[in-house]
A and B are shown apart, each in its own frame.
Chain A
Amino acid sequence: MNAPFVMPALGPVLPELVMAVGALVLVLVGALRGEKSYGLVNGLAFVTLALAAAALVTQPAGKVLVFGDSFVVDGFARIMKAIALLGSAVALLLSVDYLRRENLTRFEYPILIVLATLGMMMMISANDLIALYLGLELQSLAAYVIAAIHRDNVRSSEAGLKYFVLGALSSGMLLYGASLVYGFAGTVSFPGIAAALKGQSGLGVILGLVFVSAGLAFKISAVPFHMWTPDVYEGAPTPVTTFFASAPKVAAMAMMVRVFIVAFPGIIGDWRQIVVFVSIASMALGAFAAIGQRNIKRLMAYSSIGHVGFALVGLAAGSAQGVNGVIIYMAIYVVMTLGTFAIILGMRRGDTYVETIDDLAGLSRTQPFMAYAFGAILFSLTGIPPLAGFFAKFYVFAAAIEAKLFALAVIGVVTSVVSAYYYLRIVKIMFFDEPAESFSPLTPTLKAVIGVSTAAILFFWLAPAPLVSAANAAARSLF
């Protein structure tokens, strides 16, 4: 009667297993050692992330499907997971000093970061709608909690509550869309959906696709589902914002690429309209709404909305070249974002962290290293050659032109020019305004992160080959 139980192959999921077991060990250590165990748990969280990364890079190449084909490990999954792990690890590293100063050293923080990262890895590897939803929910639920980790602070609680309510709404939309897609395709597996649709799109499938895209757009904070981003980024403690702006974006973008490219390849004409609209709207809003911002975290929120729009240009192309562009864009975006937030975390006078742009006035005279590094990062965010940000934009726009999306590429370049205004205004304030009161000296961690990310941005053009060829191979693994 009973079918014989076949042990699923666990080798391909070793990185996820390491993360899950690591998180459970961290919970136990924290629970047994009590409130004082933050330092130990934090250290062990780094060990967990490092072990998972080691397990990830030693995986053999090629595509493997496990757990009844609901979990896929391919080149695309591996590179996106590597970027997500890097983003999480650096965000965790940047948080240590801030949490100690603000008296937030709770051992749950690193545990939730590890669990959120595990959720991201599950999202990236999801090969059916159920796996996608479970990974997404694991990541989001942990994110809601860490947004409100500073629970005695009104703005942090507000950020957590807003993120939770809107996130629950978007999860609902995603689930509704997923149920429609399942109803009309008869299967939840991505390749199965592609096979069932046979390139034909019915009204029901399109409706499901629209709702799924709405849920996904919320997670990458693309217009018109971006409303939560500025408030959450501003309200959450800065290391938490650093985390939100880096790794989860990569994972959600990877998930979106996989859903569209693997599950709906036959009806590209239908979803391309959605992606083009979302992309244009995000780029435009990111460019124009950031102009009036005084708070640097809010400005970075709008900037990240804009950058998501640029990355979506690559997805709109729908080709291997486009996916290649998305991977390169997200990798460079994460490096730039981590550098920016390391600088924002360096904006500290004594024990108070400041967040307005005017506090940066005359930084070139008080803290030349910080000012020149930030200047380089801002030029890169604008997309000025030969910095890394230029190459990021170059690859997505090249893919869009290859796919004959000329209007999209032109609008992208125009909004990129508009966004130059607010990036360069910060450079002007740093270099030409009267110096404000000097910041406290940078901690060695911040200095190292700023130094490494600036160096990566400045010298990317010398050796772009490793990232570009890896992204190329990864993109081709999807087609």
Chain B
Amino acid sequence: MNSTKTWKLALALLAVVNWSCNDNDDTGSPSAQPYRSGVIIRNEGNFSQNNGSLSFLNRDAKTATYDIFSQANQRTLTGGVHGYTEVDGKGLILVDNSTAGQDKVEIVDGNTFQSLATLKSPDIENPRYAIRVGANKAYVSCWDVSGDFNNGTFYKDPGYIAVIDLGTNTVTKKIQVPKGPETMVMAGTEIFVGSAGGVKNVTVIDAATDQVKPPIEIGNNPNLIGLDANGKLWISSGREVIRVNPQTKAIENRLKVGTSTTKSPGTFRLSPDLQTVYFVYSFYDAADNFRQKGETYRFSINDTSIPAATPFINRLFSGLGVDPQTGILYAGFTPSLAQAGYVYRYQSNGTLIDSVKAEIGPSGFYFK
């Protein structure tokens, strides 16, 4: 008798718990839109394993939610994740598979991460970077199919920008651009496109007409950093950073980063007030089996030189991001691509707040 009673009680309790759980699932409640606000961690994954993912971190949480795409869709992203951005409530996940013809852009609901559409080959080949360029309109820079690195034909010439209409979730156009298109920044109605393919020019595209305009010569492999508080465009190239007036296209300043002949600067990120630029300064140590070594520095947009002598944080990171809401620096650390990395959070003065375990190769952040 006793045990029967216990069972009945247990069942009743279970039912209540179950029912109350269901009750939470009303639309509009936090559990129905679990990813409405917080930080999306982009885990690049180990290329050959095609295991990139996105994790979600609430700003006040100490643990992340893993592989949110897989949780919402019962299937994993099948490639390295090269970019994530949101356009008018929709997320674009840039997925790079180790096999040609298997790259894609997953378009998801930004609140639930449920897949809305998948853009595939031949529309999408080696997607690198996504940017909102207008209402329901995004550009995705694509290298196109890659060739043989050893023969110097790795980057297909030309590459292209896929124009995505998020009303219909389709690629409506491919804009041909010099090989290896990479980072993009929007200034006014113009999109400035960098390159990784050994190109010296920044491509300029009119976002309204999708027409390519005359380029700006900057230097090898120009990388777009962003617009500062004065509306000036910052670009890096080799061991230099260059300030450009996006209206006149004139180069206003050219600064050498540091004095090292071995280290290179990368992963530039602007602070929320657009006054400070953070960057990682690193090299591959030939004396130590080409292990990557380096630190994280910063400079002000008004500095006249960038000595890179005293690190802001004496650590190397695989990704940086600055939360525009809080100014907190999010820094991804990758012990190896065979195990989970960590996200370290720092105050804007460089004080470590905490660390959160992410997934494979945390390399970028999207704040919402």
Are A and B part of the same complex? no
* Residues on A facing B (Cβ under 8 Å): none
